[in-house]
Amino acid sequence: MKIVFFIGYYPEIIGGAQKQARLIYDELSKNNDIIYISYPYSKKYEIHEKTIYRLKLNNKFHRYTFYYIFMYKVYKILKKEKPDIVYQRVLNSFTFHLSRYCRKLNIPLIVHIADNYSLTFEKFNISSLIRKLFFKKIIKNKTYFICQTYYQKEMLEHHGVIPIDIIPNVYKKVNINIQPKNKRKYITWIGNVRPVKNIELFLEVANNIKTKFKFCILGEISNDSYGYKILEMIESSNVVYHGLVNEDVINKILSESLVLVNTSYSEGLSNTFIEAWMLGTPVISFNSNPNTYFSRYQLGFFCNGDKSLLLNYINKILNLDSSDFDKLSFNCYDFSLKEFDTDSVTKRIVNIFKMIKQ
């Protein structure tokens, strides 16, 4: 089967959706002809390889032209390659053009929803109105949808769309031993710092808890006024900022973390949840309970948007005795192995591709 993946950067990975796309891409490329269309992050020129097209993207220019010129390059690639399926691991501005071109070329487009925000149009502002208008056009272009969570399924159904399936994220097992409580030393926050990630809450909590555990932040902070404000807040706090680090460093710190704290206002099924659970690290989530995992399994705590609960739950984990923590830790590990197995999830995706191709 010939499949085009359209998602973000290559070979760099920036963000959870791209990581998921790469994991699936790596698996499917073993038995399928995969074409990867991306745009450079560190490179300033275009590279055309056998299976990878890296297209130059000028954010300012292409945004002002609403990506028409940029996406026309994608159209020419699709016309040349004639894939059986196009797969996009996020719903965004590019999807509108992609859906138009796929319909014109009679190529099925599958959009795998990566967050809740892309399906949220309630705010009465220009941005929400435009996104909602284009989302309706994407639907009319006969796009197929896959969800990560039951909540995303409900959101799609609210707009009159029945998704093909609900498929969770995948993650490869890490060869790091699960650490007991007495070997752990961090309370950790991971993410690319943006307003929706609500990192201010983590900094606030860190300044209100006295403990031997170190509060630390891993992730990229934007080079703008919001990013400068966050850096100033970090400098005046007791939090250690590690910056943008590679996967090995993330795994090492997570394996030595008492808990991962997620403060996002809106989140789908965060990769960081899975990364933490795979290493036996419980998660405290401020406002995200994907597939009601926190309600149905012992994986940490869900705060339902309550700041006081976030503080209470961190203290609760701090005060757990070693045996209780180890039970919680093993439960996180055991659950993640069963729920996010790469082989079983990719097989489900392949079956969907085959069904749509027929």
**Confidence at residue 114, expressed as pLDDT on a 0 to 100 scale:** 84
Lowest-pLDDT range of 98-102, 127-131, 149-153, 169-173:
169-173
**Confidence at residue 63, expressed as pLDDT on a 0 to 100 scale:** 73
Segments of the chain assigned to CATH 3.40.50.2000: 2-170+341-357, 181-339
Mean pLDDT of 125-139: 89
Mean pLDDT of 319-336: 95
**Top-confidence range, 6-10, 332-336, 343-347:** 332-336
Higher pLDDT, 170 or 151: 151
Query: Has domain 2-170+341-357 been given CATH number 3.40.50.2000?
Result: yes
Q: What is the value of pTM for the model shown?
A: 0.79
**Confidence at residue 64, expressed as pLDDT on a 0 to 100 scale:** 72
Please write the tens of the pLDDT for every residue from 304-321.
Answer: 999 999 999 999 999 999
- Three-state secondary structure readout of the chain: CEEEEECCCCCCCCCHHHHHHHHHHHHHCCCCEEEEEECCCCCCCCEECCCEEECCCCHHHHHHCCCHHHHHHHHHHHHHHCCCEEEECCCCHHHHHHHHHHHHHCCCEEEECCCCHHHCCCCCCHHHHHHHHHHHHHHHCCCEEEECCHHHHHHHHHCCCCCCEECCCCCCCCCCCCCCHHHCCEEEEECCECHHHCHHHHHHHHCCCCCCCEEEEECCECCCHHHHHHHHHHHCCCEEEEECCCHHHHHHHHHCEEEEEECCCCCCCCHHHHHHHHCCCCEEECCCCHHHHHHHCCCEEECCCCHHHHHHHHHHHHCCCHHHHHHHHHHHHHHHHHHCCHHHHHHHHHHHHHHHHC
Higher pLDDT, 268 or 199: 199
As a CATH number, domain 181-339 is 3.40.50.2000
